Amino acid sequence: MQIYGPANVHGPHAVQSPHAQHAANKTSADRLRPARAGDELQISAEARLIDQLSDVPDIRASRVAELRTQIASGNYESAEKLGIALDRLLNEIG
C-alpha cells in the first residue's frame, strides 16, 4: 500500500501518470486525432430581450410633441382612432 498524503500530491511522473485514464484498444490514428470538445452557448431570456430592444425604432420627438398638443387640446381622441386602437389590441391579444 502506498500513502501519498492528504491531497494525493505526487512528485514528478512520466507522461502517462498513474491518474491518467486511457481507453483500451485505441488505434494509432485515434491517438493522433485531437479530442473534440463541444462548445455550448446559452442565451438568457434577459439577453434576448435586450437584443430585441436594439430593433426598436428611435423616438421621434417632434411626433411626440405634436400628439401631446392634440391630447391637451382635446382633438386627439375620436371614434375612428379608438376603433383602430381597439382592433390593434384585439389582434395582439388573439
Q: What angle do CA 52, 89, 78 make, to 5 degrees?
A: 120
pLDDT of residue 40: 87
The C-alpha atoms of residue 89 and residue 36 are separated, in whole angstroms, by 51
Distances (CA, A) of 12 to 15, 27, 86: 10, 28, 77
Q: Which residue ranges in the chain fall short of pLDDT 50?
A: none
pLDDT of residue 32: 66
Looking from the CA of 51 toward its CB, the CA atoms found within 13 Å total 6
Residue 74 backbone zone (phi > 0: left; psi -120 to 50: alpha; other: beta): left
Whether the pTM exceeds 0.75: the reply is no
Domain ranges of the chain: 60-94
